[in-house]
C-alpha cells in the first residue's frame, strides 16, 4: 500500500501490512473507543515475532510507554512506540479473543475473533501465523489492582487518538479491530467500530 | 514413574511426567529458594497447553491462588492449584529464560535455559513442544508496583514448601529448575538448586 494512505481495519475484522525497517505504522482510533489487537512478525523468519512476555522482561514493566521498544521471542527490538496521543492505556496481559471465549460468553454460532482475524489478515498476504502470540492490545483498558486483580473497562482514548510504532526490522504487522461486544472494552455501547492505520516515514 | 515416588528436577535442568486426570503433581521446593518453571500440555493434542494469557483472562487476576484453575489456549481447565504451603508468590507475566536472555546478560558460551529444558524434558518422553508457552513460574517473586513496573526479587518460599496441582485432563507436565544465576530470583546467592516433584492421588 502507498505510504501515507489510510487503510481501514473494518470493525470486527483484521488487516496486515509489510512495514520496512525505519518506516513507522500509525494506528488511528477514529472513534476513540476501539481496542486494536496488534502483532508483528519478522519478514525474514515469521517464527520470530513480537512477544509480550519477553517485552515485559525487557522493559521490567507491564505496559509499554512512549520511547519503549517491544521485543521478539528472540529478545530483539521489533517495534518502538514513538508517539502516543492517547492517555497511554494499553494492555499486554490478556490473550486475544477466540471462538472458545465467545462460546463461554454464551454466543451461539459464529462470532468473529481476534485470533481468527490474525489468521485471515496474514492469509491475505499469503502467510500463516506460526502460532497466536499474545497481542499488544492497543487502547485496551485493563486496570491492575494492588492485589493483582484485573477488570474489563471501556477504552479511555478519544476519537482520532493514535499510536505510532517504528519498525526496528522488516516485519509484517497485523491488526484486529476487536469484535468483543459482550464485555465493555470497546466502550459501554459494546459496539465494535472501524479503526485505521497508515504507514509513515 | 511410581505414584508417590519423589523425582528430582536437577538444578539448571528440566524433567517431565505424564499426569492423568484426577491425579495431582506436587512440586517441592526442597531448598526454598528455587524457581520452578512449569508447563502442561494435553496428552490428546499437545497443541492444547496451559496458557498464562488465557488463564489471566479466566481468573481476572495476574497470579493464581489456591483453588484457582489454570486454563489452556482453548480455555479449558488443565491444572488446579489445590495446595500451597508457600506464601503464594508465583509469577505468570515473564517469559521462560532462553539463550538470548543469557547472551544479553553477558554470558559467554553455553548457558542452560528453561526454554531448552522444556524441549529436553519433553524429548525424554518422545515429544517436542509445539511452541514455548509462557510458563507458570512457581515460587518466582516478581512484585508488580502500582505503576506496572516489575522487579526481580529472591523467592520467599521456605525449604520444603510445596504446591500441588491437580490434573483436570490427561496431560504432560514439564518443569525446569530455573538456571538463572545472574539476577537473584533463585535467592541472593544466585545458585540454582534441585527441586522435586511427586505424583499423588
pLDDT in tens, B26-65: 999 999 999 999 999 999 999 999 999 999 999 999 999 9
Is the model's pLDDT at B201 over the cut of 90? no
pLDDT in tens, A131-189: 999 999 999 999 999 999 999 999 999 999 999 999 999 999 999 999 999 999 999 99
Query: pLDDT tens digits for A37-83?
Result: 999 999 999 999 999 999 999 999 999 999 999 999 999 999 999 99
User: Mean pLDDT throughout B109-134?
Assistant: 97
Partners of residue A52 in chain B, C-beta under 8 Å: 53
- Which value does ipTM take for this structure? 0.97
Chain A contact set for B107 (CB, 8 A): none
Looking at residue B2, what is its pLDDT?
A: 78
For residue A196, name the pLDDT band (cuts at 50, 70, 90): very high
* B170: Cβ contacts below 8 Å, ≥ 6 apart: B18, B19, B20, B21, B42, B43, B44
Q: Is A117 on the interface with B (CB under 8 A)?
A: no
| A57, A51 Cβ separation under 8 angstroms | no
Confidence class for position A2, pLDDT limits 50, 70, 90? confident
pLDDT in tens, B77-101: 999 999 999 999 999 999 999 999 9
pLDDT tens-digit readout, B123-164: 999 999 999 999 999 999 999 999 999 999 999 999 999 999
Q: Do A144 and B149 touch (CB under 8 A)?
A: no
Give me the pLDDT at residue A84, please: 98
Cell, residue B87: 506464601
Cβ pair B151:A60 closer than 8 A: yes
| Sign, CA torsion A101/A105/A108/A114 | negative
Residues in chain A: 201
Rounded to a whole number, what is the distance in Å from the CA of A3 to chain B's nearest CA?
Answer: 34
pLDDT at position B6 is: 96
Cα B119–Cα B124–Cα B127 angle in degrees, nearest 5? 60
Residue B16's pLDDT band (cuts 50, 70, 90):
very high
Torsion of CA B141, B146, B148, B151, to 10 degrees: -30
Cα of A104 vs its chain's centroid, Å: 23
Q: Which of A57, A132, A150 sits opposite B94 (nearest CB)?
A: A57
A133: which 3 cell numbers?
Answer: 502470540
Q: Is B90 on the interface with A (CB under 8 A)?
A: no
Amino acid at each position: 500500500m502507498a505510504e501515507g494512505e489510510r487503510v481501514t481495519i473494518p470493525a470486527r475484522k483484521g488487516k496486515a501490512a509489510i512495514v520496512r525497517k525505519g518506516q513507522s505504522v500509525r494506528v488511528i482510533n477514529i472513534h476513540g473507543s476501539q481496542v486494536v489487537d496488534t502483532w508483528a512478525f519478522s519478514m525474514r523468519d515469521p517464527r520470530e515475532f513480537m512477544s509480550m512476555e519477553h517485552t515485559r522482561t525487557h522493559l521490567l514493566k507491564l505496559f509499554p510507554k512512549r520511547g519503549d521498544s517491544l521485543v521478539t521471542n528472540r529478545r530483539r527490538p521489533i517495534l518502538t512506540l514513538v508517539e502516543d496521543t492517547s492517555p497511554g492505556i494499553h494492555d499486554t496481559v490478556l490473550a486475544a479473543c477466540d471462538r472458545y471465549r465467545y462460546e463461554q460468553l454464551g454466543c451461539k454460532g459464529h462470532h468473529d475473533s481476534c485470533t481468527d482475524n490474525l489468521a485471515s489478515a496474514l492469509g491475505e498476504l499469503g502467510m500463516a501465523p506460526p502460532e497466536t502470540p499474545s497481542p499488544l492490545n492497543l487502547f485496551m483498558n485493563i486496570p491492575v489492582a494492588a492485589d493483582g486483580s484485573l477488570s474489563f473497562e471501556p477504552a479511555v482514548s478519544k476519537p482520532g487518538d493514535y499510536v505510532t510504532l517504528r519498525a526496528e526490522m522488516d516485519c509484517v504487522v497485523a491488526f484486529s479491530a476487536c469484535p468483543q461486544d459482550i464485555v465493555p472494552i470497546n466502550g459501554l455501547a459494546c459496539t465494535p467500530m472501524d479503526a485505521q492505520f497508515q504507514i509513515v516515514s
